[in-house]
Structure 1
Amino acid sequence: MSTDWWPAEVVQHDRRSPDIAVFRCRTFQPLPFRAGQHVPIECPYLPWRSASYSIANAPRLDQVLEFHVRAPARPLPGPDGRIGPADPRVSAALVHRLKLGDTLRLGAPRGSLTLDPYSRRDLVFVPAGTGLAPAKALIEELSRFNRTRWIHLFRGERDDRDFYDRRALDLLAGRHPWLTIVRAKADVADLVTAHGPWPDHDFYVSGPPATVAEIVRRLESCRVPTARVRYDALNLC
Structure 2
Amino acid sequence: MSTDFWPAEVLRHERRRPDVAVFTCRTARPLPYRAGQHVTIECPYLPWRSSAYSMANAPRPDRRIEFHVRAGRPGDVSAALVERLKPGDTLRLSAPRGSLSLDPYSRRDLVFVAAGTGLAAAKALLDELSRVNRTRWIHLFRGERDEAGFYDREALDRLAQRHPWLTVTRAVCDVAELVASHGPWPDHDFYLSGPPTMVSTTLRRLESSRVPVSRIHFDAPAQLQF
Fold conserved between structures, TM > 0.5 = yes
1:169-188 equivalences in 2 (<5 Å): 169-188=156-175
Give me the whole-angstrom Cα distance separating, in 2, the residues matched to 1:103 and 1:221.
Answer: 46
Does residue 154 of the first structure (1) align with residue 116 of the second (2)? Answer: no
Matched residue, 2:209: 222
Matched residue, 2:46: 46
| Percentage of matched positions with identical amino acids | 73
Letter of the 1:205 counterpart: L
Q: How far does residue 232 in structure 1 lie from its aligned partner after superposition?
A: 1.2
Give me the whole-angstrom Cα distance separating, in 1, the residues matched to 2:165 and 2:34.
Answer: 22
The TM-score normalised by the length of structure 2 is 0.96
Give me the whole-angstrom Cα distance separating, in 2, the residues matched to 1:145 and 1:65.
Answer: 20
Q: How far does residue 128 in structure 1 lie from its aligned partner after superposition?
A: 1.0
1:31-180 equivalences in 2 (<5 Å): 31-72=31-72, 74=73, 89-180=76-167
Does residue 197 of the first structure (1) align with residue 173 of the second (2)? Answer: no
Q: How far does residue 68 in structure 1 lie from its aligned partner after superposition?
A: 0.3
Q: How far does residue 122 in structure 1 lie from its aligned partner after superposition?
A: 0.1
Does residue 233 of the first structure (1) align with residue 225 of the second (2)? Answer: no
Deviates more, 1:207-216 or 1:188-197: 207-216
Query: Unaligned stretches of 5+ in structure 1?
Result: 76-87
Q: How far does residue 161 in structure 1 lie from its aligned partner after superposition?
A: 1.0
Q: Deviations over 1:164-200 (max 9, x none)?
A: 0001100000000000000111110100011000000
Give me the whole-angstrom Cα distance separating, in 2, the residues matched to 1:35 and 1:109.
Answer: 10
Give me the whole-angstrom Cα distance separating, in 2, the residues matched to 1:211 and 1:130.
Answer: 12
Give me the whole-angstrom Cα distance separating, in 2, the residues matched to 1:116 and 1:170.
Answer: 25
Matched residue, 1:82: none
Letter of the 2:148 counterpart: R
Give me the whole-angstrom Cα distance separating, in 2, the residues matched to 1:208 and 1:180.
Answer: 22
> Following TM superposition, where does structure 1 have runs of at least 4 consecutive aligned residues deviating by more than 4 angstroms?
none
Q: How far does residue 104 in structure 1 lie from its aligned partner after superposition?
A: 0.2
Q: Secondary structure at the match of 1:152?
A: strand
Letter of the 2:146 counterpart: D
Letter of the 1:132 counterpart: L
Deviates more, 1:128-137 or 1:88-97: 88-97
Q: Secondary structure at the match of 1:106?
A: strand
Q: How far does residue 60 in structure 1 lie from its aligned partner after superposition?
A: 0.3
How many residues align structurally?
223
Give me the whole-angstrom Cα distance separating, in 2, the residues matched to 1:62 and 1:229.
Answer: 32
Query: Unaligned stretches of 5+ in structure 2?
Result: none
The TM-score normalised by the length of structure 1 is 0.92
Q: Secondary structure at the match of 2:197?
A: helix
Q: How far does residue 218 in structure 1 lie from its aligned partner after superposition?
A: 1.1
Deviates more, 1:195-204 or 1:217-226: 217-226
